[in-house]
Amino acid sequence: MFFGKPNKISYKTEDELLLIKKSGDLLGRVHGLLSENIKEGVSTKYLNKAAHDFIKDHHGVPSFLNYRGYPATLCTSINETVVHGIPGDEYLRDGDIISIDCGVLLDGFHADSAYTYTVGNISEEKHRLLKATKESLFEGIKNAIAGNRVGDISFSIQHYVEKRGYSVVRDLVGHGVGRYLHEEPEVPNFGKRGNGHKLLKGMVLAIEPMINIGRRDVYHLSDGWTVKTSDGKPSAHYEHTVAIMNGKPEILTTFKYIKGEVE
């Protein structure tokens, strides 16, 4: 989900990383709020309004709203929708999975994070997809350290999910994030070890595996945003904003406010 701006990698200072972490904390609390509100019968429009009002009440700006004409605060992607589902009159049903992606701008810096939630009781098949996708995000993050390359992140995600029989969406990728929602470099969820940009201290990356149960192919709806699996099978999406450091990656967004999460 990269729109190529700006075309140079920006390296953040310690102070800037702290600001992104603050945006990330507010974003984490948005996810916490969403997790409390997700249940059968709730509309995606309702969730969007709750998130929008919460961000505004905390003096933040929703990063996605009006971004390239995007009409909402959240992307709400149910079941076979991969990403960029537009909130509306769609009601959650028992057994659904819903990927919610959100960005927050606070004090000049963006944080970007996505999580796939469950509604009521989901199938074992969906449960396994969610687990593998979330774990693949953390496999990618483990490799997000200075001295590695982008391809080390990409490879580790791809390897983790393909070993379990899932497929990696290729049309959309992770990205640098900071003063802009989308910065260099692109961070694909597939690739080869040792390829791509060198990771250096101060880079901040949004790592975001989008993983399908079935085939990797997707198509775009005529609304200009919604991306769905071509085979109609479910897809999951988790995303963290991560700072590259020497030794250990630092995750600047958080799932810790999400009901039922242990972090």
Applying CB under 5 A, the residues found at the interface with Co ion are 112, 206
CB-wise, 60 or 122, nearer to Co ion? 60
Q: How many C-beta neighbours within 10 Å does residue 244 have?
A: 23
Helix (H) or strand (E) holding 28: helix 14-37
Task: Name the nearest CA neighbour of 115 among 70, 157, 77.
Answer: 77
Q: How far is the CB of 114 from Co ion (least distance, A)?
A: 7
CB-wise, 3 or 219, nearer to Co ion? 3
Task: Name the nearest CA neighbour of 34 among 16, 50, 52, 56.
Answer: 50
Q: How far is the CB of 136 from Co ion (least distance, A)?
A: 15
CB-wise, 74 or 206, nearer to Co ion? 206
Residues 6+ apart with CB under 8 A from 83: 1, 75, 77, 99, 101, 114, 172, 210, 227, 237
What one-character DSSP code corresponds to residue 123? P
Q: How far is the CB of 173 from Co ion (least distance, A)?
A: 9
Query: Can you say whether the dihedral through the CA atoms of 263, 59, 35, 161 is positive or negative?
Result: negative
Q: How far is the CB of 3 from Co ion (least distance, A)?
A: 11
CB-wise, 25 or 112, nearer to Co ion? 112
CB-wise, 128 or 179, nearer to Co ion? 179
Supply 17's token pair.
């990383």
Q: How far is the CB of 172 from Co ion (least distance, A)?
A: 9
CB-wise, 119 or 206, nearer to Co ion? 206
Do residues 133 and 148 lie in contact, with contact meaning Cβ atoms separated by under 8 Å?
Answer: no
Q: Cis omega before residue 87 (within 30°)? A: no
Q: How far is the CB of 237 from Co ion (least distance, A)?
A: 9
